[in-house]
Structure 1
């Protein structure tokens, strides 16, 4: 760093006050630096009073004079400060090197995810630990993926149903006969849970029932329960046609 020589000084014998003209000592000088006076002696700067006034130690030894040349010599204090700052930087960088620099990020929270933007700290990707990955927006978990790959969260809940899936659900619902209650009637669930050839499904939040088509071969015969007083007897003919009769019991 170059010596500072801008402007001139007025000095007084046996005084510690140095007065400058055209100087800017607040910006250009520092306490502890060396003041080289018009008397060619060196003094320590002990105080920066203003841009045009400073104090030295010891008191000025030369003759009183005005409009004199001078110089302020930077000291090794700058080098010491620079070395200290460099050491602090190296120390802080070690954490960055071993963490983000190595692709490793600390566990975060919903309000401060592991990976987030400087201007939006409650949105990003969070690594809370235990083999879990989270997608955060607005300080809330929108998607969480567990260790086995299971996704949960409002992101999953809001996924749209494809047209093909919706059509399949609609067709299934249309093929079902709604049950009104549990009881002995043909369109009701038997109270003894003996369903026979009936199969049950939950479609569109309503309990449904539809007739089960038995997997049969030509020559097979079987019974299907209708109620406690009725059975349907069916026979799979050799011609491939399934014929039936209803048996009623007293």
Structure 2
């Protein structure tokens, strides 16, 4: 390190003070450095006050000089201090550096520490690695076989396994119980719908088998929906389901699937919903009023008018189909009709598609209320025995077929 000689100094005989001009003592001098004064003598730097002031020892021996040349020489003590500090670091961290190895890369350090895989890491008391022995010895703590609720995304594997096992056990037990009682997969008892308002519906207590659950759902008390938001002139379908262990109903526009057993149906795409009945809204977006009578839903509306009057002044003399789908749902092939004949010939009600199969004869000037089958498209056939026909057909209700 070169000696520092910038600027000049002012020294006074027998004084410790050195005053500099154009000097920079703070950055270029250290306590313990050697100061060569204008008199050629050597002194020790004992204090550095500022860039232009420092103290020396012993006091300056030469003659007073206001602009003398000088020199600051670094001493060997710097190297010794550095060596001492390095030795202290080696003593403190040398063992750690040796463990980290001699390859100064991440891969090299990992290899030295045996951390290229988890073999170099011991298992803790809580965080376990899924080794073969670890899997075998992990207890099934918290496994609950009593909860059969649906599995959700937040469930752990243990919780989900318990739910699935509970569902299987419950389904097996229900199936066995149903078999022992002679109850089939299409079983339904009670659960009769009742009109409460244009935007409300209820069902009585009862029991129904739900395929998606593999068991019967028992409804101890009536269930009610109210304040429904409904579209006009639309078929709605009522379903029973299990809502986390509690029986519930829903009224939606999703039609049921084809029957899975007898007339029993479930919601299309969802076997956890058991079909109860179909209901129609009017153009005023409210449900048509109805009652349930011996397996039929009968309208309590102004029947001799649209949309219930599906034929007015019919005069056909050959079998003719009458579309009833506006007030008869696609899930039934049976309806209750009022057939009225105010013409002169006899009115015939015929089996759909079979011209020779006469179901009812309605004499001139009479009315006749009767059940009649429909085609798969909800058509009923009629004709008159001759000209002068004046036939009327009103739909009074339809079969529940559930």
- With the shorter chain as reference, the TM-score category is 0.3 to 0.5
**Which structure would you say has the larger Rg?**
2
Q: TM-score, normalised by structure 2?
A: 0.31
Q: TM-score, normalised by structure 1?
A: 0.47
